[in-house]
Amino acid sequence: MGHLGLIRALMLVVGLAATMARPSKRMDPTKYLTKFGYLNKDKMSKANEMTPTEMDNMVRDAVMLFQEMAHLPMTGSLDEMTMQQMTMPRCGVADLGEFRLTGRKWDKTDLTYRLINTSPQLDRAEVEDAIYRAFRVWEQVTPLRFRRITGVSDIEISFVHFDHGDGNPFDGPGGTLAHAYFPGAGIGGDAHFDESEQWTVRTARGTNLFIVAAHEFGHSLGLEHSQVLDALMYPFYQGYVENFQLDYDDILGIQTIYGSNPGDSEPTPAPTPPPSGGGGNPIPPSGKPDICNTDIDTIARIRGETWVFKGKYFWRVRDRVSGPWLTSSFWNGLPETLDHIDGIYERPDYKILIFKGHRYWVFDANNLESGPHQISDLGLPSNLDAVLPWRSNGKTYFFRGNKYWRYNEREGRVDPNYPRALNIWRGLPSDGVDAAVQLDDGYAYFFKGQDFYKMAERTITVLPGYPKAAAQDFFGCQPDSFSDFSPLFAGSVQPAGLSYHAEDDCQWEQHVCDLLTRMEGGETDPFAP
């Protein structure tokens, strides 16, 4: 299928809006989606061998990926908003595909750069200052140091027009503003700026050189594009920002590659928002939390049962709720001083991972197999809010603040193009969640404060009528005249909202089954201090 034929197929397959039926000479959606990695080049070369259905699926997937990156409704159609977004000024580095080259970094911390030329639109001193400040953005949060020289350098910087010899020509005013190459020999690390743009400094007029340069130098250091809208590494130009500061996502990314500025042990954490939904309840004087009158730290589905954690304690849920029990006493090998955990989940190989701060542990049943390890080794942030294994794709989702990461268990790494914005999970609180679990009914349950949200797996949308009170509608507590709530845990009462198989056979090793039996006997506390 020739290029023109493919464009026609693209328009027909995705239902291009009538008002956009004749894209401008500069806006070819096929070229755009291919250039930025959304349409796979190898598959495109075999387009004439595809059935209409295969073509339809390929194009819809490409358009939806672009819409997700651009925070647009994921319709899979080249509607007017999507076409308009494709005309917005942006970085020339691909968002997906072969150009992302993960894992590239400089093997030294002292780097040099050279200005091959400067833009005649600005005084040389203005260009030099903007470039210096752009490098300084990354110096402040890493061990990296940058020095300008006049000879051959690690990072060569130039202002060029159109075709400039690297096989990646610029397109004139607007569109692609600049591009840079990931670390490596030769052209690696170099940054090129389109001289056709109206470059400015310290103003919102035109295209601000400092903002664009700071973004491109992120690529020169090994960073890919981010889907986080406020991140510097978001691919679309967002204008001049006075008193600019890196987003936490940018800091996390660069420190994952090079570590923090000497004296800092972890990425600077984002401010912690106040809990919503009535969370933050104190632990009772007895030292043990009451599941009917508390928020929770994390929740997980392990060995066919639901486990709920708050502070130093956890509850076990099968046909009833038992506990609370000390977490560090059951999971042999956790620090005795552990005051809470951030997340826990069971991997496909039945190993159990427990997260706290910047560390995690790996357990076989309830025995420590390895750890503590650094969470950053997994490509994940410290101080996680929630962990959610997802049944339909076998991936594991990690949540922190208004972002989430998708972890590929089979490949042992975070999937490309993550983290992403939490608002893709429609209906959740914008500032994040406290805990998450998917139960056997197929629904996902997210907790925030003392409330919970029920989400359909197919639509990734919270059901109408939520949030609801977790105490009553999830844990099965009922109002009592003598206290706020009293639990309905006696006998075989099933807490509302929970769906599971209450099998008679213990799904753990025998020594764990024996311990659980002692726990639920109620005669003595097997974890008494």
What pLDDT is stored for residue 500 in this prediction?
39
Domain count, the chain: 3
Phi then psi for 169, rounded to 5 degrees?
-70, 150
What pLDDT is stored for residue 400 in this prediction?
94
Is pLDDT of 23 > 50?
no
What pLDDT is stored for residue 291 in this prediction?
87
Buried b (16+ CB within 10 A) or exposed e, 365-383: bbeeeeebeebbebbbbbb
Cα gap 308→117, rounded to integer Å: 61
* 422 HSE (CA, 13 A, CB side): 17
pTM for the whole thing? Answer: 0.53
Among the listed ranges 91-100, 208-217, 520-529, which one has the minimum average pLDDT value? 520-529
Measure Cα distances from 44 to 49, 55, 68, 364 in Å: 10, 9, 21, 46
In a domain, 529, yes or no: no
In a domain, 412, yes or no: yes
Q: Which residue would you say has higher pLDDT here, 481 or 415?
A: 415
Q: Which residue has the tokens 């049962």?
A: 305
Long-range contacts of 65-69, Cβ-Cβ distance < 8 Å, separation of 24 or more: 65/38, 65/96, 66/33, 66/36, 66/38, 66/95, 68/227, 68/420, 68/424, 69/95, 69/225, 69/227, 69/235, 69/417
> Could you tell me if 343 and 491 lie in one domain?
yes
What CATH number is associated with residue 414?
Answer: 2.110.10.10
What CATH number is associated with residue 120?
Answer: 3.40.390.10
Cα gap 119→35, rounded to integer Å: 26
Report, as an integer, the average pLDDT of 360-367.
Answer: 91
Measure Cα distances from 397 to 2, 173, 340, 415, 422 in Å: 40, 40, 20, 10, 11
What pLDDT is stored for residue 118 in this prediction?
95
> Could you tell me if 56 and 119 lie in one domain?
no
Question: Last residue of some domain: 203, 232, 258?
Answer: 258
Is 216 among the residues known to form the active site? yes
User: Which of 44-53, 188-197, 505-514 holds the top average pLDDT?
Assistant: 188-197
> Could you tell me if 328 and 203 lie in one domain?
no
Domain around 489:
298-521
In a domain, 269, yes or no: no
Among residues 13, 157, 23, the alpha carbon closest in space to that of 87 is found at 23
Is pLDDT of 504 > 70?
no
Cα gap 30→133, rounded to integer Å: 37
Pair of tokens at residue 242: 């006075």
Question: Last residue of some domain: 87, 122, 149?
Answer: 87
What pLDDT is stored for residue 521 in this prediction?
60
> Could you tell me if 427 and 500 lie in one domain?
yes
> Could you tell me if 342 and 305 lie in one domain?
yes
Question: Is 95 known to sit in a ligand binding site?
Answer: no
Measure Cα distances from 140 to 91, 125, 248, 268 in Å: 23, 22, 13, 11
Question: Is 257 known to sit in a ligand binding site?
Answer: no
In a domain, 104, yes or no: no
Question: Is 514 known to sit in a ligand binding site?
Answer: no
Q: Which residues pair with 45 in a beta bridge?
A: none
Fill in the DSSP letter of residue 70. T
Question: Is 61 known to sit in a ligand binding site?
Answer: no
Report, as an integer, the average pLDDT of 357-367.
Answer: 91
What pLDDT is stored for residue 5 in this prediction?
44
Question: Is 215 known to sit in a ligand binding site?
Answer: yes
Question: Is 219 known to sit in a ligand binding site?
Answer: yes
Question: Is 123 known to sit in a ligand binding site?
Answer: no
Asked whether the beta carbons of 99 and 417 are under 8 A apart, the reply is no
In a domain, 444, yes or no: yes
Is pLDDT of 247 > 80?
yes
Report, as an integer, the average pLDDT of 379-386.
Answer: 92
Question: Is 233 known to sit in a ligand binding site?
Answer: yes
Question: Is 311 known to sit in a ligand binding site?
Answer: no
DSSP count for the chain of H helices, then E strands:
11, 28
Report, as an integer, the average pLDDT of 201-216.
Answer: 94
Asked whether the beta carbons of 172 and 162 are under 8 A apart, the reply is yes
Cα gap 288→296, rounded to integer Å: 13
> Could you tell me if 11 and 156 lie in one domain?
no
Question: Is 175 known to sit in a ligand binding site?
Answer: no
Q: What percent of the chain is modeled with pLDDT above 90?
A: 44
191-194, strands of its sheet edge to edge: 90-91, 176-180, 191-194, 155-160, 110-115, 145-148
In a domain, 245, yes or no: yes
In whole angstroms, what separates CA 78 from the centre of its chain? 26
Question: Is 484 known to sit in a ligand binding site?
Answer: no
pLDDT digits (tens, 9 = 90+) for 385-428: 999 999 878 899 999 999 999 999 999 999 988 989 898 898 99
Question: Is 415 known to sit in a ligand binding site?
Answer: no
> Could you tell me if 252 and 308 lie in one domain?
no
Among residues 189, 231, 214, 217, the alpha carbon closest in space to that of 418 is found at 231
Q: Which residue has the tokens 């989400």?
A: 455
pLDDT digits (tens, 9 = 90+) for 221-246: 999 898 888 889 999 998 988 889 99
In total, the chain counts a number of residues equal to 529
Pair of tokens at residue 320: 């009833």
Pair of tokens at residue 9: 């197929």
Q: Which amino acid is at 65?
A: L
Tell me the three state secondary structure of residue 84.
helix
In a domain, 516, yes or no: yes
Pair of tokens at residue 25: 């000479």
Q: Which residue has the tokens 């025995």?
A: 367
> Could you tell me if 234 and 363 lie in one domain?
no
pLDDT digits (tens, 9 = 90+) for 124-138: 999 999 999 999 999
Please report which confidence band the pLDDT of residue 330 belongs to, taking 50, 70 and 90 as the band edges.
confident
Is pLDDT of 146 > 70?
yes
Q: Which residue would you say has higher pLDDT here, 180 or 511?
A: 180
Q: Which amino acid is at 371?
A: G
Measure Cα distances from 374 to 358, 361, 396 in Å: 6, 9, 18
Question: Last residue of some domain: 258, 286, 312?
Answer: 258
Q: Which amino acid is at 195?
A: E
Please report which confidence band the pLDDT of residue 187 belongs to, taking 50, 70 and 90 as the band edges.
very high
pLDDT digits (tens, 9 = 90+) for 76-88: 889 988 999 999 9
Question: Is 247 known to sit in a ligand binding site?
Answer: no
> Could you tell me if 426 and 340 lie in one domain?
yes
Is pLDDT of 511 > 80?
no
Cα gap 363→345, rounded to integer Å: 10
Mean pLDDT of all residues in the chain?
81
What pLDDT is stored for residue 506 in this prediction?
67
Question: Is 511 known to sit in a ligand binding site?
Answer: no
Strand 444-448 and strand 451-456: pairing?
antiparallel
What pLDDT is stored for residue 386 in this prediction?
96
What pLDDT is stored for residue 520 in this prediction?
64
> Could you tell me if 179 and 315 lie in one domain?
no
> Could you tell me if 73 and 125 lie in one domain?
no
Q: Which residue would you say has higher pLDDT here, 452 or 324?
A: 452
Q: What percent of the chain is modeled with pLDDT above 70?
A: 80
Active-site residue, selected from the candidate residues 126, 156, 195, 216 = 216
Question: Is 194 known to sit in a ligand binding site?
Answer: yes
Pair of tokens at residue 454: 């029920």
Strands (DSSP E) found in 217-292: none
User: Which of 71-75, 250-254, 410-414 holds the top average pLDDT?
Assistant: 410-414
Is pLDDT of 119 > 70?
yes
Report, as an integer, the average pLDDT of 252-277.
Answer: 59
> Could you tell me if 253 and 304 lie in one domain?
no
In a domain, 526, yes or no: no
